Amino acid sequence: MVVNNKVDSLSYDVEAPPQGAAAAAAAAPPAPPAPARHHAPAAPVTMREGAAVLELHKVSLPERRSTARALRQRLAEVFFPDDPLHQFKNQSSARRLVLALQYFFPIFQWGSAYSPRLLRSDLVAGLTIASLAIPQAHSSFVPPLIYSLLGSSRDLAVGPVSIASLVMGSMLREAVSPDEEPILYLQLAFTSTFFAGVFQASLGFLRLGFIVDFLSKATLTGFMGGAAIIVSLQQLKGLLGIVHFTSHMGFVDVMRSVFKRHDEWEWQTITMGTAFLAILLLTRQISARNPKLFWISAGAPLTSVIISTILSFIWKSHSISVIGILPRGVNPPSANMLTFSGSYVALTIKTGIMTGILSLTEGIAVGRTFASINNYQVDGNKEMMAIGIMNMAGSCASCYVTTGSFSRSAVNYSAGCKTAVSNIVMAAAVLVTLLFLMPLFHYTPNVILSAIIITAVVGLIDVRGAAKLWKVDKLDFLACMAAFLGVLLVSVQMGLAIAVGISLFKILLQVTRPNMVVKGLVPGTQSYRSVVQYREAVRVPSFLIVGVESAIYFANSMYLVERVMRFLRDEEERALKSNQSSIRCVVLDMSAVAAIDTSGLDALSELKKVLEKRNIELVLANPVGSVAERMFNSAVGELFGSERLFFSVAEAVAAGACKAQP
Amino acid sequence: MVVNNKVDSLSYDVEAPPQGAAAAAAAAPPAPPAPARHHAPAAPVTMREGAAVLELHKVSLPERRSTARALRQRLAEVFFPDDPLHQFKNQSSARRLVLALQYFFPIFQWGSAYSPRLLRSDLVAGLTIASLAIPQAHSSFVPPLIYSLLGSSRDLAVGPVSIASLVMGSMLREAVSPDEEPILYLQLAFTSTFFAGVFQASLGFLRLGFIVDFLSKATLTGFMGGAAIIVSLQQLKGLLGIVHFTSHMGFVDVMRSVFKRHDEWEWQTITMGTAFLAILLLTRQISARNPKLFWISAGAPLTSVIISTILSFIWKSHSISVIGILPRGVNPPSANMLTFSGSYVALTIKTGIMTGILSLTEGIAVGRTFASINNYQVDGNKEMMAIGIMNMAGSCASCYVTTGSFSRSAVNYSAGCKTAVSNIVMAAAVLVTLLFLMPLFHYTPNVILSAIIITAVVGLIDVRGAAKLWKVDKLDFLACMAAFLGVLLVSVQMGLAIAVGISLFKILLQVTRPNMVVKGLVPGTQSYRSVVQYREAVRVPSFLIVGVESAIYFANSMYLVERVMRFLRDEEERALKSNQSSIRCVVLDMSAVAAIDTSGLDALSELKKVLEKRNIELVLANPVGSVAERMFNSAVGELFGSERLFFSVAEAVAAGACKAQP
């Protein structure tokens, strides 16, 4: 039997010392000094209590680290959670060079193993996504080529996405009308794209990729739904053939404009648009019901364009507006259109950051989704750099903001793509179209493009997803609806800001009002669990065991003290009613307290003082490494001392029971 | 032996089913349907594995609550964590009325038991704090009277505090100079005070008191230090006798102004000021060393004022500037000076909110500190209403923002106050001074007031507190220094904003990058603990046990998946090196996961899919009530099923071991 200081203090502290333990402690040889804290773990302490043997285990501390080392590890965890340098360990320098090259240009990694068999798959997939890309031709040429060099996802299909395009349009239109000043509008759009790229690449370079994690899925669901409706409403211009349309994006403005201009409604256009819209929505439904028929909805847009163009060419009706003359040829360089001075710099930077973060969020999420399906990893920060560089290059070649698009990547994946070569194939197909096929689109009616866009964006309205949120998490649903209504009724930026605010508020609320539970012993085990969750759990008489299920911070330290006092009051009332002995000991189960700050430490010592005044002992069970470390670095560690720190609730109860009961 | 669905699935899932278990399952009668989830807990499931008997406990769910009830409980926890209505339970309506009266006017509570013995203590304490209060006479008359009616703290001494006064001065001076437009300045000051009161009272009324919890102690330490230096620098005007002083508050501006105006330095003033400053600082030191001599530093300011006034009266030197004619008489009404229209409304509202929240923070913190020392409770939200109403009343009686002052309350406490009557005594003493003694202060040199203010504020510079922060928590220290330097070099508001930002960022960082640990069995126990903290803990072969020490949110769900995969990679490398069997089963210990949102649920199912592809099983151990509830409300619960949810890590390992080893 090992007896050390701990047992001594345990026996001497007791008001009515238990005969057995006191005798044992007295009979034992003088206790050796307790082993130094940061060395090998102490052997368990055994206490003989009558016939029962109680074995106490010491709370250990993690190995002592220097401040610099602790800081380095913490920073590494924040900025390099994926440990990208792991593969460079224990390699020759030549090998490291190859690995570095492969790291920055993943094409060298998979390129060496590329085979005709893979090419066949990628060819089919590339042509399939090209058919989706042709309406936004320019932006689907340069960026996919760059991405195929730098990107680490095999399934991502690159192109402009509706959210980012919408936000860019909405933000720029507030300052400049694309109809009145088309050149200036283009300049601002390309400059914003450039800033978006710079912002994205710097986020990746600075390893701040975790910022996109703050856009929760709930937020995005609401945001996309609102954005989809806003975009659809804009298409009413084309679908109804209205000439004088509002330049505002809000729901109210657009609806007012639509009904004020009902004299401009064009019935031929409406008939044609509605018919094609119905067909497109039908093909979507068919593909959704039977995923094997994905090619029906994939091919429908291009087919609609061709058929409607032929119809319009035959009719030559003047009441249906057509695209007209399109610039033929490959992307014109637009580096000269980037403007970094003048009164619009702030606007373009703001627009760039906004669209940059939105397109990143979609791109990274899509890349991760398909990577997890196919069981490979994408490096978020590296992807950001790839997307950023792709947008910087794109802004110099007449491209708007591009990213990995969810719908296109899904088509790419289901068409059987194997590598980023499918992006190259798509770019080549777009190139051919740009060079030779553009005149064919002269008679394409604008109403068809509106129908295609509506079909594409209504898919973003995820009613089922919102219903799931309502079922599972009401606050998530609130964030979702706030984003939805904010985008629809106020503005795109405001909607996003409100939703992010609610998401952050939710986190802070959870931190401010952490879960705290009263625990009891589950019969047949040594485990203490919440008496609310496990109704069979039994409270230990004269003990109050409180589990704290959150880090203890300045934001909740006051609440913690108040909540424990309230539990104490309730438990004492309960004990009084059922004639049980009153509470003698409060055990804080710290298992779930991942961290503690200085205010938290102060709260613990305050709680101890307050309880002491009422002759109630406060002990802590199972503090985790960082918390134990911090306690011993402050005066609180001494206040509690090792005799009030226990390995587990069970041991705390066992040791505490020794003291309270003679 | 009880056999139910759970055992069935456990035995049938196995690739190479263990002979014993399979036989037992096959021989058993058809399994009865599993008991409904929300009813009485199931009897533990016993599995016979050869000779060993393995007892499995079911994960329970808390009682099912309706959405409305869950929401009500959640809101109650957020807004009424102190359960203020508890005392009204089971009382007659007459008694309730009395209790309500006592609740809103605590003076009825303690007033009925007031005795001459208490009055003697309060009289001494009240006169002591009055001696501190006379320099800011007007603001120390009406507010303390109101507080003594409404406040629930017995020790709080009410008056203007330096932080709030400083911020108000700094914010108003940016728009209006008090020297050039004194009336307008006063109007704005009183209006700001009124708004501060409205803001404080509404926070309390809306039970949003937890907002002040977001100003952490670290932030306040830095903020007060910076504010103290700023205030001291302002006193250089009086201390050096400079006439043309800058109206800016920043460190750089003030120092530039001081040295540019060195021709205005007044040597008589400087000598007198330095001498009294030295004496005042010395008395502070004496009282700090020996708390029983508190009256030396408490009495020093008034004594200095008296002595210096006499000296100045005798010398009648024109080079030392004196206070001059002071308005005699009780507070003039100032309700007519409140201006709610015009161009300054936004400024006064902003200033009101800022000073309101700052003075609240100090008042509440001081109230709670002394309440915990004397073992009674103050109700934060009610205190806010009391402080708010006191400021609204004060603004109509020529008072600036007032609150519970830390230094004065400390003096009040050490002078032996028992109830809020000490505030009434102070107000009475101030009244006498205002009515009859004001002319005595005609010859008081301004330099003495500067010396008193410097002495008061240097006590706010808490170097030891900052050093403690550095030792215990580097990020807290960073927040502290940011607040300090922000206030000193940029502006008061900016310093506060930066510090609050860092504090919030710290919380979010902890949420984004939660602690995750690999766990092993601590020898001699059934407990699994971090192998980094407990170096004696032993990994279980072919198991990876990961403890997640945070709620799982959208902000960390991606990180969670990546971190588990990285642990897996490391553990597999380790197993390869030491020739152990590779990982077959990942156990996520969910004990410390206090909450989960929809993104977190998705992350769990994604992790399960990814691991399944690698033929690794994912099981969850000990989910807490709300998490288990949410899992079963979503598709994730079905995905895991009850056979992959375990009561504890120990049982998960035991059951998993059955499956992996034939």
Query: Which of A85, A87, A217, A462 is the best mutation test for B, with the most CBs of B within 10 A?
Result: A217
A510 vs B472, B551, B633: nearest CB: B551
Residues of A within 8 A of B599 (CB-CB) are 216-218
Report the b/e string of B305-339 with b at 16+ CB within 10 A.
beebbebbeeeeeeebbbbeeeeeeebeebeebbe
Reported as a single tens digit per residue, the pLDDT across B214-250 is: 777 788 788 878 877 887 888 888 888 887 877 777 7
Q: What is the pLDDT of residues B257-288, one digit of tens each?
A: 888 888 888 888 899 999 999 998 999 888 88
Question: How many percent of chain B have pLDDT more than 90?
Answer: 14
Contacts of residue B133, defined as CB under 8 A and 6 or more positions apart, other chains included, come to B140, B159, B408, B426, B429, B430
Write out pLDDT tens, residues B93-105. Answer: 888 888 888 888 8
Flag whether residue A615 sits within 8 Å of chain B, measured between CB atoms: no
Q: Does residue A55 lie in a domain region?
A: no
CB-nearest to A630 from B473, B525, B535 is B473
Same-domain status, A385 and A264: yes
Domain end (from A397, A428, A445): A445
How far CA B658 is from CA of A362, A524, A527, A578, in Å, comes to 43, 21, 22, 44
| Number of separate domains in chain A | 2
- Looking at residue A550, its pLDDT comes to 84
Of A472, A513, A533, the CB nearest to B598: A472
A622: left (phi over 0), alpha (psi -120 to 50) or beta: left
pLDDT surpassing 90 at residue A387: yes
Q: What is the mean pLDDT of residues A426-444?
A: 84
What's the CA gap between B458 and B463, in Å, rounded? 11
Q: Do B210 and A512 touch (CB under 8 A)?
A: yes
List, in order, residues 6 or more apart from B405 with CB less than 8 Å away.
Answer: B157, B158, B159, B160, B161, B362, B366
Query: CA of B554: which chain A residue's CA is closest?
Result: A216
Note the pLDDT tens digit of each residue in A167-224.
888 788 878 888 888 889 989 999 999 999 999 999 888 877 777 777 777 887 888 7
Q: For residue B287, give how far its alpha carbon lies from the nearest alpha carbon of chain A (Å).
A: 24
The owner of tokens 């026996």 is A11
- Using a CB-CB cut-off of 8 Å, the residues of chain B touching A210 are 512-513, 555, 559
Residue B455 in domain: no
Q: Are residues A205 and A344 located together in one domain of the fold? A: yes
* Residue A437: per-residue pLDDT: 80
Range in A580-584, B342-346, B415-419, B457-461 the model is least confident about:
B457-461
| A 497-516 near B (Cβ less than 8 A) | 503-504, 506-515
With an 8 Å Cβ cutoff, is B141 touching chain A? no
Domain annotation covers residue A522: yes
DSSP run (H or E) holding A619: strand A617-621
> Do A183 and A313 sit in the same domain of this protein?
yes
The string of pLDDT tens digits covering residues B255-265 is 888 888 888 88
Once rounded to an integer, what is the mean pLDDT over residues B25-39?
40
Task: Flag whether B575 is in a domain.
Answer: yes
Q: Chain B residue closest to A628 (CA)? A: B533
Tell me the three state secondary structure of residue A585: strand
Beta strand A585-589 pairing with A617-621: parallel
Residue B44 DSSP symbol: P
Residues A276 and A404 both lie in one domain: yes
Which chain A residue lies closest to B626 (C-alpha atoms)? A533
pLDDT score at B659: 57
Answer whether residue B320 is part of any domain.
yes
The rounded distance, in Å, linking the Cα atoms of A95 and B586 is 33
Domain of residue A589, CATH code: 3.30.750.24
Interface of A with B in 583-602 (CB under 8 A): 591-595, 597-599, 601-602
Q: Are B153 and B383 in contact (CB under 8 A)?
A: yes
CB neighbour list of residue A545: distance below 8 Å, 6 or more residues apart: A518, A519, A520, A528, A539, A586, A587, A589, A649, A653
Cβ-based contacts of B549 with chain A (< 8 Å) = 592, 594, 624
Residue B326's pLDDT is 65
Put simply, the answer to whether B598 touches A218 (Cβ < 8 Å) is yes
Question: What pLDDT sits at residue A274?
Answer: 92
Q: Beta-strand (E) ranges in B493-637?
A: 516-521, 528-530, 543-548, 585-589, 617-621
Asked if residue A547 lies in contact with residue A563, where contact means CB atoms within 8 angstroms, the answer is no
Q: Is B50 exposed, middle or buried (0-12, 13-18, 19+ CB in 10 A)?
A: exposed
B303 and B388 assigned to the same domain: yes
Residue B210, chain A, CB below 8 Å: the answer is yes
- The mean pLDDT of A29-58, rounded to a whole number, is 48
Same domain? B436 vs B519: no
For B300-334, what is each residue's pLDDT tens digit? Answer: 877 888 898 898 888 877 777 877 766 667 778 88
Interface check B46 vs A, CB under 8 A:
no
Whether A520 and A436 map to the same domain: the answer is no
> Is residue B11 over pLDDT 60?
no
Select the highest-mean-pLDDT range: A629-643, B132-146, B349-363. Answer: B349-363
Average pLDDT, integer, range A507-526: 85
Residue B38 placed within a domain: no
- Per DSSP (E only), the strands in B12-123 are 45-49, 52-56
Residue B561 with chain A: CB contacts under 8 Å: 372
**Cα B466 to Cα A641: distance, rounded to the nearest angstrom:** 24
B256 touches chain A (CB under 8 A): no
A146 — pLDDT class (breaks 50, 70, 90): very high
From B414, B445, B476, the end of a domain falls on B445
pLDDT at A314 over 50: yes
* The predicted structure's pLDDT at residue A390: 94
Residues B431 and B520 in one domain: no
Assigned token pair, A544: 């109050």
Nearest by CB to B81, which of A373, A380, A563? A563
Domain finish residue from A400, A425, A445: A445
Please provide the DSSP assignment of A332-353 as one string.
PP-GGG---SSTTHHHHHHHHH
Surface of B (541-560) touching A: CB under 8 A: 549-551, 553-559
Interface test with A, best of B54, B87, B534, B590 (most A CBs within 10 A): B534
Q: Do A472 and B610 touch (CB under 8 A)?
A: no
Which one of A533, A546, A553 would you mutate to disrupt binding with B, by most B Cβ within 10 Å of its Cβ?
A533
Range A39-50 average pLDDT = 46
Quick one: pLDDT band at residue B8, thresholds 50, 70, 90? Answer: very low
Q: Are residues A204 and A314 in the same domain?
A: yes
Q: Which positions in chain A touch B592 (Cβ < 8 Å)?
A: 549, 591-594
**E strand intervals along A11-170:** 45-49, 52-56, 158-159
Q: What confidence tens digit (pLDDT) does each residue in B489-509 have?
A: 887 777 777 877 887 777 777
In chain B, what percentage of residues exceed pLDDT 70?
88
Q: Does A605 touch chain B (CB under 8 A)?
A: no
B79-88, B102-111, B293-302 — which one is most confidently predicted on average?
A: B102-111
Element (H, E) at A530: strand A528-530
Distance CA B478, CA A597 (A): 13
Does position B188 have pLDDT exceeding 90, yes or no?
yes
Contact list, B468 vs chain A (CB under 8 Å): 598, 634
Q: Answer yes or no: is pLDDT of A304 > 90.
A: no
Strand partners, B547: B517, B589
What pLDDT is stored for residue A10 in this prediction? 32
Give residue A49's pLDDT band: very low, low, confident or very high (50, 70, 90): very low
What residue of A is the nearest CA neighbor of B378? A562
pTM: 0.70
User: Same domain for B393 and B305?
Assistant: yes
Pairing mode of beta strands A585-589, A543-548: parallel
Verify whether the Cβ–Cβ distance B375 to A610 is below 8 Å: yes
| pLDDT surpassing 60 at residue A554 | yes
Tell me the longest C-alpha to C-alpha distance in chain A.
111
Using a CB-CB distance cutoff of 8 angstroms, which residues of chain B are in contact with residue A510?
Answer: 551, 594-595
Q: How confident is the model at residue A54 (pLDDT cuts 50, 70, 90)?
A: low
Residue A191 pLDDT: 94
Residue A46: what pLDDT? 52
A472 contacts on B by Cβ (under 8 Å): 597-598, 601, 630, 633-634
Residue A91 has pLDDT above 60, yes or no: yes
Give the range of the structural domain holding residue A202, as residue numbers without chain letter: 115-216+260-445
Sheet containing strand B528-530, strands side by side: B528-530, B516-521, B543-548, B585-589, B617-621, B645-646
A363 touches chain B (CB under 8 A): no
Q: Angle between the B446-458 and B267-289 helix axes, to the nearest 10 degrees?
A: 30
In total, the C-beta contacts within 8 angstroms joining chain A to chain B are 266
B210 confidence band (pLDDT: 50, 70, 90): confident
Tell me the C-alpha distance between A661 and A18, whole Å. Answer: 7
Per-residue pLDDT tens over the stretch A463-475: 888 898 888 778 7
> Can you give the pLDDT at residue A190?
93
Q: What is the pLDDT of residues A25-41, one digit of tens each?
A: 333 344 344 433 444 44
Q: Read off the pLDDT of residues A560-575 as tens digits, 9 standing for 90 and up.
A: 888 898 899 888 888 8
Predicted confidence at residue A135, as pLDDT, reads 63
Residue B391 belongs to a domain: yes
Does residue A476 sit within a domain? no
Q: What digits encode the pLDDT tens for the residues B537-590?
A: 899 888 999 999 888 888 888 888 888 988 998 888 888 888 888 888 999 999
Together in a domain, A412 and A551: no
The token pair that represents B553 in the structure block: 């949110």
| Average pLDDT value for chain B | 80
**Phi then psi for B588, rounded to 5 degrees?**
-95, 115
The larger pLDDT score, comparing residue A607 to residue B246, is at A607
Please tell me whether residues B410 and B558 are part of one structural domain.
no
